[in-house]
Structures are given as C-alpha cells and as structure tokens.
Amino acid sequence: MKTLILCSLAVWLGAQAAASSAEAKVVLVIHGGAASEKEKMKLTAESEKRYREGLERAVRAGYAVFKKGGSSLDMVEASIKLMEDDPDFNAGRGAVFTSAGKNELDASIMEGRHLKAGAVASVTIVKNPISAARAVLEKSKHVLLVSEGANSFAKGIGLETVDPSYFHTEERWKEHEELLEEEKRQKPRANNDKGFSVPSRGEWSTVGAVALDATGTIAAGTSTGGMAEKRWGRVGDSPIIGAGTYADNEACGVSATGHGEYFIRYAAAHDIVALMKYKGLSVEAAADEVVNKKLKAASGSGGVIALDRKGRVTAAFNCEGLFRAHVTETGKVTVKLFRE
C-alpha cells in the first residue's frame, strides 16, 4: 500500500514537473529596444504604461498567429508590424530622423531551417519594412536590397507604400531639433571623427522578435529607424544578417538592439549561435558571453533577445534596460523593461 502511494506520488510529481516545463516553453519573444540610464530617468508612469501595453499588444498579435498554426516567420512579421505602426518605437512610423531631417528605415528577417534571409536598408516609403525584408527572402534571389532599389522592389510587388511624411512624428522631430542644437553647442567635429554623430541621449528603441513554431522552425527579425542623427547613408546592424539578426534551428534565433557599429564588428547575432553550436553553450550563456563580455569590453552598448529550439528564452543587455516581452505556448505573457 505504502509503495503504491509513493509510486502514485512520484507519477503525480513527474506530471507536475512536465506540466511546468511545458508551461515554460516560450514560443515568441519580442523587444522594443535597449534603454539607457537617461531614458530610464525620462520615463513617466504614463509612458511606461504605454510601452508595456505596446509590447503586450505586439506579443499577443504574434501569439494569435501561433494559435492559428502560423509559421515562425508569420509570428515575427505580425508582432514587428504592430510595433512599426506604433509611434512609440523607433521603427516604421516612429523612426528617428537622420541629421538631414529624413527617415531612413532598415529591417531584416531570417528563418532557421534553410537559413534563408531577407533585408532592406535605407527605405523611405515602405510602411512596414519588415514585410519588405520578408518579401526579399521569399520573392527575390537576393538577401539585402537598399535605398531606391528596395523602395521600388517593395512597390513593385504591391506592398503598402506611403509618403515619406508618414514617418514624421512631432515627438521625434522635437528630439531631432534638440539633438541638432546640442550638436551645435559641441566643438565642431573633425572630418576624421568616429564617422557619425552618436545620439547624445543614447536612446534606442529598435524592435525585434524571435519565434519558434510548431514545426520547430525558429525565425528572427529586427526593424529600426537606425541611430538618431545618422549621416552619409549610414546603415547599422539591424538589416545585417549575422549582426542584428540571425536564426539557426540547430541553435537559436537572435535579434539585437544598441550601438549598431559594434554589433556589426563583432558579428554579434551569429556569434551567439556559433558559441552554442561549436562550444555547446546554453542560449543564456552564449548571449551573456557576447553582450556582457565581448561587447561590453569594447564599449558596445545594447542587448539581445534570443530563443533556442527548445523554447528557452534569454535577454542579455549591458545597458540600463531592454524593453521586452515573451509568451509561452500556453499563452502566458511576461513584459519586462529593466532588470526586474
């Protein structure tokens, strides 16, 4: 009798453990950019609420696609589109301004089964750059299209285009004017300076997503207006496969945000995948190694979200915060902005 009770207890405990680990399987993680100390200080109760709600809406939109049996590419595109349409994020509608007062948008997407990828850079009339990146993946023989060519590709295949003024939001324009003023007050830069003006507020609110679908395919995507006050056709890491975005079913999917030049130089997204594949690191350890050791040592601020093929999620950042949310296969949503 005693043995029977013990056995039943063991079976019950086993079932509970299985249930809780199934509960923990994450199918989608998204981010709304890395946050600096200054940005944290600037956050009001009202803006914090807006960010949290924006993240939750986007992660739920991606989850609705999962529930309908959609692919990881569908989930990534759905959640990123929502954030691109939300003026609070530096992507799509809320893109920051270049120093010339324009909006130039970048995006990329990748799937981890066949290692197929698509990206666009410096587009100016595409309402949802993430959809253009996906079209490059699915409807072209190329991986990266830029500027006017990317604009006309997107228009040619029937994606929604807008007048560039669609991306002109008052909030970003005010920031742009303040940054221009700040720059004027600073010493004039020499021609051999670091190559572009670093936004003095160090704010990034690029968006990204990584999803795992029912077939076990991982997809990752990133979309951004880039760094504020960028010049000379500057392109950051977001549309660069291996830097801002990567997905490989043998390891994980990654989407990055932060000071793009460093993420390009350190091939950050791919390095995380490589550490998992060749060194056997967990997704958490690999992301930590790249973000908190390699990039931090080089003063490359920012962070990543990553999701592995078992549904284990991680967020690594070496700045104050990383706005993020994830959802498990049972629909449990978690939203976090800082180290909480």
221 near ligand ASP, judged by CB under 6 A: no
Tell me, letter by letter, the H, E, C secondary structure of 39-74: HHHHCCHHHHHHHHHHHHHHHHHHHHHHHCCCCHHH
Minimal distance, residue 205 CB to ligand ASP, in Å:
6
Q: Are 303 and 294 in contact (CB under 8 A)?
A: no
239 near ligand ASP, judged by CB under 6 A: no
Distance CA 284, CA 53 (A): 26
**Judging by DSSP bridges, how do beta strands 218-224 and 245-247 pair with one another?**
unpaired
Minimal distance, residue 90 CB to ligand ASP, in Å:
5
Q: Output 118 or 311, the one with its CB closest to ligand ASP.
A: 118
For residues 321-340, which are near ligand ASP according to CB under 6 A?
none
**Judging by DSSP bridges, how do beta strands 302-308 and 313-317 pair with one another?**
antiparallel
Q: Output 301 or 328, the one with its CB closest to ligand ASP.
A: 301
206 near ligand ASP, judged by CB under 6 A: yes
Neighbours of 152 (CB within 10 A): 13
The one catalytic residue in 98, 124, 206, 222 is 206
Judge whether 206 counts as a catalytic residue: yes
For residues 114-173, which are near ligand ASP according to CB under 6 A?
none
Strand partners, 246: 254
253 near ligand ASP, judged by CB under 6 A: no
Kind and range of the H or E element at 23?
helix 2-23
Distance CA 109, CA 107 (A): 7
Across the chain, which distance is largest between two alpha carbons, in Å?
Answer: 86
Distance of CA 198 to the CA centre of its chain: 20
Q: Output 119 or 281, the one with its CB closest to ligand ASP.
A: 119
Q: Output 249 or 255, the one with its CB closest to ligand ASP.
A: 255
266 near ligand ASP, judged by CB under 6 A: no
257 near ligand ASP, judged by CB under 6 A: yes
94 near ligand ASP, judged by CB under 6 A: no
User: Site for ligand ASP (CB under 6 A): which residue of 36, 71, 72, 90?
Assistant: 90
Question: What residues make contact with ligand ASP under the rule CB under 6 A?
Answer: 33, 90, 204, 206, 224, 226-227, 236-238, 244, 257-258, 260
